[in-house]
Amino acid sequence: MVLVYFGLMLLLSALAYYLGRGQASSLPRPLAALPTYHGARLALFAFFPMLGLFILWEAIVPRLLMSRAISSLPTDLQPADALSLSARTRELLAVVNGTPSADISETVRAAGQALASNLSMAGMILLVLGLAVAGAGVFWAKSQITQQLRARHTVEGTVNWLLIACSAIAILTTLGIVMSVVFETFQFFTKVSPVDFLFGTKWSPQTAIREDQVGSSGAFGFIPLFIGTLVVMIVAMCVAAPIGLFSAIYMAEYATPRVRAFAKPVLEILAGIPTVVYGFFAALTVAPLVRDIGRAAGFDVSSESALAAGIVMGVMITPFISSLADDVINAVPQAMRDGSYAMGATKSETVKKVVLPAALPGIVAAIMLAISKAIGETMIVVMAAGLAANLTLNPLNSVTTITVQIATMLVGDQEFDSAKTLSAFALGFVLFIFTLGLNIIALHIAKKYKEQYD
């Protein structure tokens, strides 16, 4: 029924479009707006009334019918509390959908069938009403079409509102997420003091379910996670920053168009590999390799190490840095290079002394963004760095990171008000502040850089 309704909505809009365009075309010229705008305007007058009606109707009518169906049940079947209400609702819905379980009572079944027929009746009414509002809208709007009508403004205004609505949704969602994280973080801080969290050096979030269990009080020191994140991030940047940057320089300055046409897409493929794939690559290939090489060289390397995770994460971020840096380097005006070549500078002198200094702020911004990406990355670290919250700066040890802990906190069945679960939100909040700060710095640098050539 919904499909039919939306199909009808689109069909009517299309019809209205042709109607409006046709009518406007037959008007004497010059028109205040092109006929296509009149068509679009009419389409809007079909579309939005129908959409509005649908939203309103769906918000009210099915619920109304459901509550009527429930109240029509005999007293012994009336739900007593919220739990049985939702059970009853589910039973009725199952009947409506034609999938009732066998043990359902006859009365409920009958009520469900009545509800089903009511609902389909309501659907029919909705269709008719929809047709009516669209017809009325189009009819009224069509009567307004004159030579002077500024249909362009109506369409323009609608587009404007649509765009505003979309960005509002995006902004509100972000706000909502941030608010909920902040709220849960405060909840967490009522259980664990912020000082213990921010400066504690021990992370073992296993709180006891029973009072008498050992280790009933978890430790929520955030420092080991922070250091772990830092170590992995530094290893990743040590891999990604030079490789990404140099490959960008090669792409932008040295590669022939043919090489570029081939190499750029390859780099982009690298960027398109899901992180999970990188993750098992890290866990199954790189981590054992790192361990074996390390052991052969006489180091004590654990089989899950920050080094392995960092290397793979670096590989993952490399195309990101190289593509951003490539853009930045390409944005350096050719006149700069010409000026340098004309003085008798070689290519590498030009790159080193003119192009890179000019592109430096943009490159720094790219690296900042890459760092915030590295910090937020989870899959690779989960798979390759381990879960042990060791407080160590040694990349050969296994470490754990903020994101990994968040993931493990929330995997599986959890009580939602334990300190353990809530700590995930606090970690998320700290992570968020981190990456936000990095992004702001990066944007700030990039903006400054933009002003340089104007």
Partner 1 sequence: MSAQTATKVETATAVPRILGERAPKVTARNVDIYYGEKHAIKSLSVDIPDRAVSAFIGPSGCGKSTFLRSINRMNDTIPSCRVTGDIKVDNKDIYARDLDVVHLRARVGMVFQKPNPFPKSIYENVAYGPRIHGTASGKADMDDIVERSLRRASLWDEVKDRLNSPGTGLSGGQQQRLCIARAIAVNPEVILMDEPCSALDPIATARIEELIDELKQNYCIVIVTHSMQQAARVSQLTAFFHLGILVEVGDTDDIFTKPKDKRTQDYITGRFG
Chain contacts with partner 1 (rule: CB under 8 A): 256-257, 333, 335-346, 349, 353-354, 357-358, 452-453
| Cβ nearer to partner 1, comparing 196 with 349 | 349
- For residue 323, the minimal CB distance to partner 1 (Å) is 23
- For residue 363, the minimal CB distance to partner 1 (Å) is 14
- For residue 203, the minimal CB distance to partner 1 (Å) is 47
- For residue 367, the minimal CB distance to partner 1 (Å) is 19
| Cβ nearer to partner 1, comparing 28 with 344 | 344
- For residue 343, the minimal CB distance to partner 1 (Å) is 4
| Cβ nearer to partner 1, comparing 323 with 350 | 350
- For residue 327, the minimal CB distance to partner 1 (Å) is 18
Q: Which pairs count as long-range contacts for 342-351, CB under 8 Å and 24+ apart, including other chains?
A: 347/253, 347/254, 351/249, 351/253
In this structure, what token pair is assigned to residue 405? 């802990």
H/E element, 255 = none
In this structure, what token pair is assigned to residue 167? 């960005």
Q: Cα 368–199–419 angle (5° rounding)?
A: 100
243 burial via Cβ count (<10 Å: 0-12, 13-18, 19+): middle
Counting every residue written for the chain, the total comes to: 454
DSSP 65-111: HHHHHHHTS-GGGS--SHHHHHHHHHHHHHHHTT---TT--HHHHHH
| Cβ nearer to partner 1, comparing 215 with 357 | 357
| Cβ nearer to partner 1, comparing 29 with 258 | 258
CA–centroid distance for 355 within its chain:
35
| Cβ nearer to partner 1, comparing 357 with 437 | 357
| 129: nearest Cα among 192, 53, 39 | 53
DSSP 345-380: --HHHHIIIIIHHHHHHHHHHHHHHHHHHHHH--HH
Helix and strand numbers, DSSP H then E, in the chain: 17, 2
| Cβ nearer to partner 1, comparing 295 with 352 | 352
Alpha carbons 140 and 16: distance in angstroms, whole number? 12
Q: Cα 162–168–169 angle (5° rounding)?
A: 95
- For residue 365, the minimal CB distance to partner 1 (Å) is 16
| Cβ nearer to partner 1, comparing 157 with 357 | 357
- For residue 447, the minimal CB distance to partner 1 (Å) is 16
